[in-house]
Structure 1
Amino acid sequence: MSYNLLKGKRGIIFGALNEQSIAWKVAVRAVEEGATITLSNTPVAVRMGEVSALAEQLNCEVIPADATSVEDLEEVFRRSMAILGGPVDFVLHSIGMSPNVRKKRTYDDLDYDLLAKTIDISAISFHKMLQVAKKMNAVAEYGSIIALTYVAAQRTLFGYNDMADAKAMLESIARSFGYIYGREHNVRVNTISQSPTMTTAGSGIKGMDKLIDFSDRMSPLGNADADECADYCITMFSDLTRKVTMQTLFHDGGFSSMGMSLRAMDQYEKSFDQYRDDKGNIIYG
């Protein structure tokens, strides 16, 4: 169902790769809600063909760019303003990748050159994006800029590795830059902390399927899926949230506020069944 929440608005969606991508779903919902958009991803991702299929579906243009390159980002904003007819009203940063995770390097055995790439791709690219947009006056007053994050920025979750460090920096950038951008141009900058989601990037995290199951058992509302995250992004792009900025907004079914749930406790108790004596007492070995 469309509510015309973005009627007449213009936006840029960074990071749509395939139908599993949250960015892909955000792009679809944004157009459904009346926006005109451009898409951007790396030249390699664009050559893969699926992003082009989305662009054809939504009747929008794809602008290939490396989000770690200031020059490429300048081109994205310059071309987007030309294509869309002026400054944009919203931007989505859905970019993250850890070479250490891909190479199965554990957190206590990181390759530091790869760590620098993780931070550059997953966090500093957001600062570059914000800085370029501000210098080019590319985002309209009361525009909304969103980056996707995860609770591992604040809590330790096994297997998330150096992406946790990147997400912590991402959230800090949103606060620090959000103050300046809000004060000078009334532009909102927030991060959305999404439930673990089986995107192409997420599938590279060790034990992701188990993490998804655990968080689902812990969350009173269950995990938020990618379509629901897209809906939340749309509300943050809309005029209904004009005074929300510098926030990490948890979209995780309540997981971030939980200590232990009944479902998780039941599963935990069941794991001890094989260690009980004939009176039902747990035998600790």
Structure 2
Amino acid sequence: MMNNLLKGKKGIIFGALNPDSIAWKVAVRAHEEGATVTLSNTPVAIRMGETNQLGEQINAEVIGADATNVEDLENLIKKSMEALGGKIDFILHSIGMSPNVRKGRHYSDLDYNYLDKTLDVSAVSFHKVLQVARKLDAINEWGSVIALSYVAAQRSFFGYNDMADAKALLESIARSFGYIYGRERNVRVNTISQSPTITTAGNGVKGFDRLLDFSERMSPLGNATGDECADYCITLFSDLTKKVTMQNLFHDGGFSNMGMSLRALEQYEKGLDKHCACDDEKPSADEHRYD
């Protein structure tokens, strides 16, 4: 459904790799609601993904940039303002990556060089985007910046690894920078804590299929889909949410406020007669069973 909620607005969307990406869905919805955007990803991701096809589909310029590199971000934002004809109104940060997860390193045995990369790509890059945009005075008054997060920033989830630390930092950056940007220029900064969603990044999380099923059973409204997340982003880019800032907004069907649901309990009861390896004697330090 199109309501012209973003008519005349301009934005930058990071992270649209393929049609499964939430950023891809947001870009399509923003275009449908009347916005013009530029798309950005790393040059490697642009070559390997389908970002250029999306650019053709919604008539958006694709500008390669490493979001961890300040010079790249300066070039991206300047070129975006040139392509869009002035300051922008919204930014979506949909970026996340953990070499520790990719390499199968357990949380109790992290490679710290990998951890530095996880934090830089998945969280510090958000600070860099905000800092560069502020220094270039690139965002219009009452503009909106969103980064995608997950409830593992507040709770422990088996297999989520150092991405949980990155998401916690991401949300802290939104609060701290949100105060500064809000007081100075009425720009709002928020994070959306989305349900587990089938994306290229999501599928890299250990036990993701079971996590998806568990959250579906726990959530009164069920998991929020990528398309539904895109709709939510549109409302936060629009003028209907001008006084919402510094928030971590849960978009998860109610999962974040649940203790135990009947559907999850019934599924648990089905397995009570089966032996669980986690009931065995405690593992040695190098087994990493609980990581």
5 Å matches for 1:126-141?
Answer: 126-141=126-141
Deviation readout 1:112-170 (Å, 9 max, x if unpaired)? 00000000000000000000000000000000000000000000000000000000000
| Counterparts of 2:265 and 2:47, CA distance in 1 | 47
2:206 counterpart SS class: coil
Q: What are the ranges of 5 or more consecutive residues in structure 2 without an aligned counterpart?
A: 276-291
Q: Please give the root-mean-square deviation of Cα atoms over the aligned residues, in Å.
A: 0.8
Given residue 118 of structure 1, which amino acid in structure 2 is its aligned partner?
T
| Counterparts of 1:7 and 1:248, CA distance in 2 | 26
Given residue 88 of structure 1, which amino acid in structure 2 is its aligned partner?
I
5 Å matches for 1:109-258?
Answer: 109-258=109-258
| Counterparts of 1:153 and 1:214, CA distance in 2 | 18
The Cα of 1:242 is off from its aligned counterpart by 0.1
Given residue 149 of structure 2, which amino acid in structure 1 is its aligned partner?
T
The Cα of 1:198 is off from its aligned counterpart by 1.2
Given residue 178 of structure 1, which amino acid in structure 2 is its aligned partner?
G
| Counterparts of 2:220 and 2:212, CA distance in 1 | 14
| Counterparts of 1:87 and 1:198, CA distance in 2 | 33
**Counterpart for residue 26 of structure 1:** 26
| Counterparts of 1:217 and 1:53, CA distance in 2 | 36
**Counterpart for residue 279 of structure 1:** none
| Counterparts of 1:273 and 1:111, CA distance in 2 | 39
| Counterparts of 1:4 and 1:82, CA distance in 2 | 23
1:63 counterpart SS class: strand
**Counterpart for residue 79 of structure 2:** 79
| Counterparts of 2:76 and 2:2, CA distance in 1 | 28
The Cα of 1:274 is off from its aligned counterpart by 5.1
**Counterpart for residue 48 of structure 1:** 48
Percent of matched pairs sharing the same residue: 76
Q: What are the ranges of 5 or more consecutive residues in structure 1 without an aligned counterpart?
A: 276-285
Given residue 4 of structure 1, which amino acid in structure 2 is its aligned partner?
N
Deviation readout 1:1-26 (Å, 9 max, x if unpaired)? 10100000000000000000000000
1:5 counterpart SS class: coil
The Cα of 1:273 is off from its aligned counterpart by 4.0
Given residue 139 of structure 2, which amino acid in structure 1 is its aligned partner?
V
Given residue 38 of structure 1, which amino acid in structure 2 is its aligned partner?
T
5 Å matches for 1:97-108?
Answer: 97-108=97-108
**Counterpart for residue 70 of structure 2:** 70
**Counterpart for residue 285 of structure 2:** none
Deviation readout 1:52-108 (Å, 9 max, x if unpaired)? 000000111000000000000001110000010111000000000000000010100
| Counterparts of 2:205 and 2:46, CA distance in 1 | 23
| Counterparts of 1:208 and 1:141, CA distance in 2 | 39
Is the 2:149–2:194 Cα contact (8 Å) retained in structure 1? yes
Given residue 182 of structure 2, which amino acid in structure 1 is its aligned partner?
G
| Counterparts of 2:182 and 2:86, CA distance in 1 | 20
1:221 counterpart SS class: coil
| Counterparts of 1:18 and 1:151, CA distance in 2 | 24
2:12 counterpart SS class: strand
| Counterparts of 2:245 and 2:203, CA distance in 1 | 30
The Cα of 1:49 is off from its aligned counterpart by 4.8
| Counterparts of 1:273 and 1:159, CA distance in 2 | 25
Distance change (3 Å), C-alpha of 1:174 and 1:195: same
2:64 counterpart SS class: coil
Deviation readout 1:206-233 (Å, 9 max, x if unpaired)? 0000000000000000000100000000
Given residue 84 of structure 2, which amino acid in structure 1 is its aligned partner?
L
Is the 2:174–2:191 Cα contact (8 Å) retained in structure 1? yes
Shift >4 Å, 4+ stretches = none
TM-score of the aligned structures, taking structure 1 as reference length = 0.96
**Counterpart for residue 39 of structure 1:** 39
